[in-house]
Amino acid sequence: MTLDPVAFAQALIRRPSVTPADAGAMDVLQSALSDLGFACRRMPFEGIENLYARRGTSGPNLAFAGHTDVVPVGDAAAWTTGPFDAQIIDGVLYGRGAVDMKGSIAAWTAAVSRVLAKGEISGSLSLLITGDEEGKAIHGTGPVVEALLSEGETIDHVVLGEPTSAARLGDQLKIGRRGSVNAWITVEGVQGHVAYPHQAANPIPVLIRLLAEIQAHVLDQGHPRFPASNLEVTTIDVGNPVTNVIPAKATARLNIRFNPLHDGDSLIAWLEGACAKAGVGFDGTVTLEPVLTGNAFITEPGPFVDVLAAAVKSVTGEAPILSTTGGISDARFLRKLCPVVELGLVGATMHAVDECTSVQEVEDLTRIYEQVILGYFAGL
């Protein structure tokens, strides 16, 4: 049995699985995988549907990872077709999740069906699919990875199907991601009248000096495969509606995107030190609330990356570039298991009104994935 990747993508898109809803998307996928001989296991966390499916018991184990949840449609009336109708118009498949990332899930599943139709592989294939990637991502891939690690499950390499292609299918492989730290800084002083500053403790100058100091700090000059790390202040809030009151509190939020020269814990420790220094001599408090959303990682070029690059070139005729650009993804969790490389559809319309992908791109991605699987088990 071989699957039609486009028809399967349509079946997935027609399930309105806006985070945290599943709407039966996992059932559609699990049914197809069960028919292909996969042992399917649901791994729900706090009501979020997750699926780990494996075919085979020996190594190596090549996994595909992704998510069935999608972002809200926005203004449904602005769409060319119904956001979940999965209509094809002039060779283009429309629908929420078409590129991010039900199209790539369908392409991988169809590729597996084509490989298995040719014979058995000498190893295992698995899929790790979550329903919580577009939201807070705290009940999805992260806890599934931790559960698999605790059970001793071995996954040797992962292909993550995020829409990482930029201008054309396969023009880049994402071999790494920068890390990310979010932080909230709160300076609390003493409210008072502007004409009597000695009776107050203004938190604003303290916050301004602190932000200027950390903004001026050069984190690094860059990494061989990453740009320089950067810190950006994203908001400053006081909420003072009048001109004659010194406010009691001032807050700011910032984000640090960092390369592998740092880790989140060391950056948080640096911020804590700066906040402690800012509070010296101030008749108030300076507090930091940091959240590490993921550390930076790199999958160094080698046999695994070569297999993916060769598969792309065999289908598209052009070799991909190796990229570490963009934001964070579930690769930050998967890297705890093994090396990860991201390869998926062109992401130009992801999260947009009229999210879409061409039928030909879905077919071509299926061919690429088929070559990845065949090349992996032939050469690694």
Return the pLDDT at 380: 63
Specify the pLDDT at position 326: 84
pLDDT tens digits, 185-217: 999 999 999 999 999 999 999 999 999 999 999
Q: Which of 231, 229, 247 is nearest to 239 (CA)?
A: 247
Three-state secondary structure call for residue 86: coil
3-class secondary-structure state, position 12: helix
Inter-residue contact 278 to 210 (CB < 8 Å):
yes
Show the tokens assigned to 112: 């597996």
Instruction: For strands 61-67 and 157-160, give the pairing.
Output: parallel
Rounded CA-CA distance 74/94 in Å is: 15
- The full 3-state SS of 237-293, as one line of letters, equals ECCCCCCCEECCEEEEEEEEEECCCCCHHHHHHHHHHHHHHHCCCCCCEEEEEEEEE
CATH top-level class of 179-294: alpha beta
Give dist(CA 162, CA 153) in Å, integer. Answer: 23
How much is the mean pLDDT over the chain?
96
CATH, domain range 5-177+296-379: 3.40.630.10
Model confidence at 31, pLDDT cuts 50, 70, 90, reads: very high
348-371 pLDDT tens trace: 999 999 999 999 999 999 999 999
- Asked whether the domain spanning 179-294 has the same topology as the one spanning 5-177+296-379, the reply is no
Contacting residues for 306 by C-beta, under 8 A, at least 6 apart: none
- Could you tell me the pTM of the whole model? 0.91
What are the sequence ranges of the domains in the chain?
Answer: 5-177+296-379, 179-294
Q: Left (φ > 0), alpha (ψ -120 to 50) or beta: where does 361 sit? A: alpha
Dihedral angle of Cα 358, 363, 366, 370, to the nearest 10 degrees: -150
Residue 155 has pLDDT above 90, yes or no: yes
pLDDT of residue 376: 97
Q: How far apart are CA 85 and CA 113, in angstroms?
A: 25
What digits encode the pLDDT tens for the residues 295-348? 999 999 999 999 999 999 999 999 999 999 888 899 999 999 999 999 999 999
Work out the burial of residue 302: count CB atoms within 10 Å of its CB; fewer than 13 is exposed, 13-18 middle, 19 or more buried. Answer: exposed
- Active-site residue numbers? 69, 133
For the stretch 92-147, pLDDT in tens is 999 999 999 999 999 999 999 999 999 999 999 999 999 999 998 999 999 999 99
Over pLDDT 90: what percentage of the chain? Answer: 98
Average pLDDT on 260-267 reads 96
Distances (CA, A) of 261 to 216, 229, 273, 274, 328: 18, 9, 19, 20, 17
Res 45 pLDDT > 70:
yes
Task: Please confirm whether the linkage preceding 205 is cis (ω < 30° from 0).
Answer: no
Instruction: Annotate 298-343 with three-state secondary structure.
Output: ECCCCHHHHHHHHHHHHHHCCCCEEECCCCCCCHHHHCCCCCEEEC
Give the chain's largest Cα–Cα span. Answer: 84
Strand partners, 187: 250, 286
Q: Identify the DSSP state of 48.
A: B
